[in-house]
Homo-oligomer: A and B are copies of this chain.
Amino acid sequence: VNADPQSEPARLEVGLGARSYDILVGAGLLADAGTYLSGVLAAPRVVVVTDGNVAPHHLAPLEAALDAAAIQHAAIVLEAGEQTKDFSHLQDLVGKLLGQGVDRGTTLVALGGGVVGDITGFAAAIVLRGIDFVQIPTTLLAQVDSSVGGKTGINAENGKNLVGAFHQPKLVIADTETLNTLAPRELRAGYAEVVKYGLIGDRVFFDWLAENASRILNGDADARRHAVVTSCLAKADVVSEDEHEHGRRALLNLGHTFGHALEAETGFGDELLHGEAVAIGMVLAFELSARLGLCPEADAVAVRGHLQDLGLPVGLGGLKHDAWSAEILLSHMASDKKVRGGKPTFILARGIGAAFSTDDVDTGAVRALLEDALAA
């Protein structure tokens, strides 16, 4: 992994041999996207896939940039929202791509957040048994997490992201100016994935975030760039080492075992955004670590306090679901796709910046934690 924070834009490498690619981070990169794309396209033709929320803000500037670089382009605008990540929308997208005559030299460009990136990347993985794609993430969550690392896919009736492929992009262009069009709540939710990298393995970054989080949320370009670059460096490092999540990559699921259970109960919708579920999940993971005597109580308190200060949810109290029970949440955890042989994997921590993976967690302790959280 290389990074030169002095140049514009920052260029980080995800090192995966023949599948290596760069992540570009900077303010205003969309205007030069054609130039950056020209360096990675097999042929000068792309299909841009975006959604109805993103297109009004960013499609025309991207198309102008493609025109300026003499890259042929077409666009497909998906319905915005998590419900687009399903089999029928995938079939529809694949049919449109084939109908437009994509061939093995065509590159797809995913312009949008996690939903657009996930379904576009998966379509690229399976159309003609695999064509190239590029990620242009326009949400904070996508810039620091979902656009990097090649996880693509859709949801199944049985659960989220249960169908998909590992398919690495050829390039990721993270233009931090696109974050200016996000709703504050969505920006905050994405921030949960930023702080995750500090909690997993970088105490210095967590301490910097504790000082600078409000700058990130309020639009400071330098702070955003530092946050995205540091997050992407951490993710690229993990992905390079463990592309298919046989080991260390699982640490990136900090907060996700709890979080997915909450999302499953709230329907993966507006009631609880993914990043918000992860925020609660990280708080629960640190609380569990502290209860098990693995982690200083002060660290668990610091995690909760930081997220709460920013306005992120940190407990189950605000979620009004009388029918919820610890058993229901436990059953969701047991059906997570990372489960092998029935035991869910938990990411716990010995402190801020010291996360580890284990499938040897006492179910009674988890149940007690959830019962207390539900009663709070």
Q: Nearest Cβ distance between residue A121 and chain B, in whole angstroms? A: 11
**Do A162 and B98 touch (CB < 8 A)?**
yes
Chain A 262-303 against B: per-residue CB contact (8 Å), 1 yes, 0 no? 000000000000000000000000000000000000000000
**Taking the complex as formed, is A337 at the interface, i.e. its CB lies under 8 A from any CB of chain B?**
yes
A95's partner among B127, B157, B166, B339 (CB-CB below 8 A) is B157
**Do B129 and A153 touch (CB < 8 A)?**
yes
**Taking the complex as formed, is A170 at the interface, i.e. its CB lies under 8 A from any CB of chain B?**
no
> Given A95-B156, A98-B158, A158-B99, does the pair A166, B129 have CB atoms closer than 8 Å?
yes
Sample of 17 more A-B contacts, CB < 8 Å, known A43-B340, A95-B156, A126-B165: A87-B87, A87-B94, A94-B156, A95-B158, A98-B156, A98-B159, A98-B162, A99-B158, A101-B335, A103-B337, A103-B339, A103-B341, A126-B163, A129-B165, A129-B337, A130-B244, A165-B165
A340's partner among B104, B126, B339 (CB-CB below 8 A) is B104
What residues of chain B lie closer than 8 Å to A181, measured between beta carbons?
A: none
Q: A residues bordering B, Cβ < 8 Å? A: 43, 87, 91, 94-95, 98-99, 101, 103-105, 122, 125-130, 151, 153, 156-159, 161-166, 244, 335, 337-341
**Do A126 and B159 touch (CB < 8 A)?**
no
A297–B107 Cα gap in the complex (Å)?
43
What residues of chain B lie closer than 8 Å to A159, measured between beta carbons?
A: 98
A101–B122 Cα gap in the complex (Å)?
23
What residues of chain B lie closer than 8 Å to A339, measured between beta carbons?
A: 103
> Given A95-B156, A129-B151, A156-B98, does the pair A103, B340 have CB atoms closer than 8 Å?
yes
What residues of chain B lie closer than 8 Å to A166, measured between beta carbons?
A: 129-130
What residues of chain B lie closer than 8 Å to A244, measured between beta carbons?
A: 130
What residues of chain B lie closer than 8 Å to A151, measured between beta carbons?
A: 129
**Do A91 and B87 touch (CB < 8 A)?**
yes
What residues of chain B lie closer than 8 Å to A126, measured between beta carbons?
A: 122, 126, 153, 163-165
Q: Nearest Cβ distance between residue A96 and chain B, in whole angstroms? A: 10
A165's partner among B130, B156, B157, B161 (CB-CB below 8 A) is B130
A21–B186 Cα gap in the complex (Å)?
46
Q: Nearest Cβ distance between residue A232 and chain B, in whole angstroms? A: 21
**Do B163 and A127 touch (CB < 8 A)?**
yes
What residues of chain B lie closer than 8 Å to A335, measured between beta carbons?
A: 101
A112–B104 Cα gap in the complex (Å)?
30
A287–B341 Cα gap in the complex (Å)?
57
A274–B124 Cα gap in the complex (Å)?
27
What residues of chain B lie closer than 8 Å to A122, measured between beta carbons?
A: 126
What residues of chain B lie closer than 8 Å to A103, measured between beta carbons?
A: 337, 339-341
Look across to chain B and name the residue whose beta carbon is closest to the beta carbon of A153: B129
**Do A127 and B94 touch (CB < 8 A)?**
no
**Do A105 and B153 touch (CB < 8 A)?**
no
A339–B166 Cα gap in the complex (Å)?
25
What residues of chain B lie closer than 8 Å to A130, measured between beta carbons?
A: 165-166, 244
**Do A129 and B340 touch (CB < 8 A)?**
no
Look across to chain B and name the residue whose beta carbon is closest to the beta carbon of A129: B164
**Do A337 and B163 touch (CB < 8 A)?**
no
**Do A104 and B162 touch (CB < 8 A)?**
no
A339–B153 Cα gap in the complex (Å)?
26
Q: Nearest Cβ distance between residue A124 and chain B, in whole angstroms? A: 11
**Do B43 and A162 touch (CB < 8 A)?**
no
